[in-house]
Structure 1
Amino acid sequence: MVMELPLDQVRTLLTVVDEGTFDAAAAVLHVTPSAVSQRVKALEQRTGSVLVTRTKPVGLTESGQVVVRFARRLAALEQDARAELSGAGEPVRVPIAVNADSLATWFLAALARVPDVCFELHREDQDHTTTLLREGTVMAAVTSSATAVQGCSVRPLGHLRYLPLASPAFASRWLTGSLLEDLARAPVVMFDRRDDLQDRFIRSLGGERASELRHYVPASDVFVAAVAEGLGWGMVPAEQAAQRLRSGALTALAPPRVVEVPLYWQQWKLDLPALSAVATAVAGAAATSLHG
């Protein structure tokens, strides 16, 4: 027997996920919260699975992720069809997950090459952007994973190169002997608790991990500023470091050692002109900005 998914129930589930609560979804759909709850329950009965966790905001189960991915693909295809039939229609919206360092360096130049598209950017670590693809939150993602999410295609973009840097004053104070031993006790700047670039660099030197004196600075430009101010040492994208290296505000700790993070573009396997245009622009910008 072929399972049919009623479109009104599917759209209701998507609205609940986007708005975060049943009450908020009801306001958007101009129905009562009870009606929203009944539609979601009916969809769960039809699929034989719990689709959402009744938390605030709601969470998606694995089955819920499958239905939401379907709902977003359906919404994208409907929008594309309306635009093709009318010759105009509402602006195309493309949600994308991208890491902060790409946002701060090369990625926005790619988006500027694509007119008539509205972008909804979700900032996430490159090791975790595929989660948003899997959940159906975004259509495409810049990720460090070469393994395609189900229903997605993947292409390599290049490598984002990071340099181990510090301010000259910090280096003079903390780095006086063995680099590995000094960095094991020196303060370090990290983007957030998921950031392992600094620990990865220490491992490349033969150690285990950076010092426990850790500052967490979850904004790319401010992260670089924190390193330049002497808060600690850190791994800085080469493009962001260039000007401060030339001016002497930053100094390299172990030239020519670097850490390179491979980046990939993953996107839904849908024939959507806007999504294809974005992919082409991203690949072009990456070819001129990232390392092979």
Structure 2
Amino acid sequence: MTDWDLGQLRALAAAADLGTFDAAARALHVTPSAVSQRIKALEQTAGAVLLRRERPVRPTAAGEPLVRLARQLDALTAEATRHLTQDATAPRVTLAVNGDSLTTWVLPALAPLADRVALRIERADQDRTADLLRDGTVMGAVTSQGAAVQGCTVEPLGVMRYRPVAAPAFAARWFGGPWDPGAADAVRPAALAAAPVVVFDADDRLQDRWLRRRRVDPARPPRHLVPASADFAVAVRLGFGWGMLPDQQADDDVRAGRLVRLADDVVDVPLLWQQWSLRTDALDAVAHALRAAAAATLLPPA
């Protein structure tokens, strides 16, 4: 078993976090030379190059597990210190969550913890949140990736169901009008190929998946990029284009007539919770809150 040096691990994590040896040195209150020497010594112990020496510096594939280990050890050390000294400082938990989950059920789930856990939430597409867990940026992630990241545990949370929706006037203009809510599934491929679509960002593939199911090339319709979940829904309501919205976000607008469903078929996105295997009390509290909220909000796992 390798005995890892905590000071060397901290130097590695600081350089990865801050992007340069100079910034890492300032954060650690040492010289840039000391940071460089510690990282070189760690690389000798690991038998591999751990950082790409570019601007900003970035962990290599061999370095990512050690950056994650450094952050895990810091979290465990901080927790032990708080218990021993009865320090009331709120522990920090870093999470990666997709925008739709963040808007609809994650923030309400975490609200009761806000006075005792300092939360830092990274927003990322559910297909990419596991990448932030893999490189050690976050301690836990709501993700669509079922394969456990090395050093992490994984469990299903439930299924988020998406449906294609649009403003009534938009639906009538592009798909025939006046639009009758009973006309769901009457949209034709030719109309879908021309009608504008709203997408979240370059990683958003939900609309593309539904278009392919309808035998429409996703590259054909004009698209609006609106990279915020709440604003995405507003853009659809305002008639910028049609888009895939989760039931939790669209149902009230559909009932009120502000949105109509374009079809009865759905896109289901399974969501899972992945977190560090090395656990802390604060991370466990966050995981428990997310499990409970998912059970009450999402469809059961398949």
Aligned residue in 2 for 1:224: 233
Give 5+ residue unaligned stretches, structure 1: none
Q: CA deviation at 1:189?
A: 0.7
Aligned residue in 2 for 1:239: 248
Aligned residue in 2 for 1:120: 120
Q: CA deviation at 1:117?
A: 0.9
Q: What amino acid sits opposite 1:263 in the alignment? A: L
Name the CA distance, whole Å, in 1 between partners of 2:191 and 2:270.
28
Aligned residue in 2 for 1:269: 277
Alignment of 1:132-171 (within 5 A): 132-171=132-171
Aligned residue in 2 for 1:282: 290
Q: What amino acid sits opposite 1:179 in the alignment? A: R
Tell me which of 193, 199, 204 is aligned to 1:190: 199
Name the CA distance, whole Å, in 2 between partners of 1:155 and 1:82.
30
Aligned residue in 1 for 2:75: 76
Name the CA distance, whole Å, in 2 between partners of 1:94 and 1:193.
28
| Displacement over 4 Å in runs of 4+ | none
Aligned residue in 2 for 1:203: 212
Name the CA distance, whole Å, in 1 between partners of 2:117 and 2:19.
25
**TM-align CA RMSD:** 1.6
Q: CA deviation at 1:208?
A: 4.4
Q: Is 1:258 aligned with 2:257? A: no
Q: CA deviation at 1:89?
A: 5.0
Moved more, 228-237 or 209-218: 209-218
Give CA-to-partner distance per residue, 1:44-91, whole Å, 9 cap, x none: 222221111123322111111011111111111111111221222532
Does structure 2 conserve the Cα–Cα contact (< 8 Å) formed by 1:110 and 1:282?
Answer: yes
Name the CA distance, whole Å, in 1 between partners of 2:56 and 2:109.
32
Q: What amino acid sits opposite 1:280 in the alignment? A: H
Alignment of 1:103-118 (within 5 A): 103-114=102-113, 115-118=115-118
Query: Equivalent pairs: percent with the same residue?
Result: 52
Name the CA distance, whole Å, in 2 between partners of 1:111 and 1:164.
29
Q: Is 1:91 aligned with 2:100? A: no
Q: CA deviation at 1:6?
A: 1.8
Name the CA distance, whole Å, in 2 between partners of 1:109 and 1:259.
24
Does structure 2 conserve the Cα–Cα contact (< 8 Å) formed by 1:188 and 1:210?
Answer: no
* Number of equivalent positions: 290
Distance 1:178 1:282, change over 3 A: closer
Moved more, 238-247 or 265-274: 238-247
Q: What amino acid sits opposite 2:8 in the alignment? A: Q
Give CA-to-partner distance per residue, 1:108-130, whole Å, 9 cap, x none: 11112325111111111100111
Does structure 1 conserve the Cα–Cα contact (< 8 Å) formed by 2:187 and 2:262?
Answer: no
Moved more, 154-163 or 237-246: 237-246
Name the CA distance, whole Å, in 2 between partners of 1:29 and 1:271.
25
Give 5+ residue unaligned stretches, structure 2: 177-185
TM-score where L is the length of structure 2: 0.91
Name the CA distance, whole Å, in 2 between partners of 1:230 and 1:27.
50
SS at match of 1:31: coil
Moved more, 274-283 or 84-93: 84-93
Q: What amino acid sits opposite 2:281 in the alignment? A: P
Distance 1:102 1:178, change over 3 A: closer
TM-score where L is the length of structure 1: 0.94
Does structure 2 conserve the Cα–Cα contact (< 8 Å) formed by 1:107 and 1:282?
Answer: yes
Aligned residue in 1 for 2:2: 3
Name the CA distance, whole Å, in 1 between partners of 2:124 and 2:22.
28
SS at match of 1:241: helix
Give CA-to-partner distance per residue, 1:221-241, whole Å, 9 cap, x none: 111111111111110121221
Give CA-to-partner distance per residue, 1:157-179, whole Å, 9 cap, x none: 11111120111121122113742
Q: CA deviation at 1:195?
A: 0.6
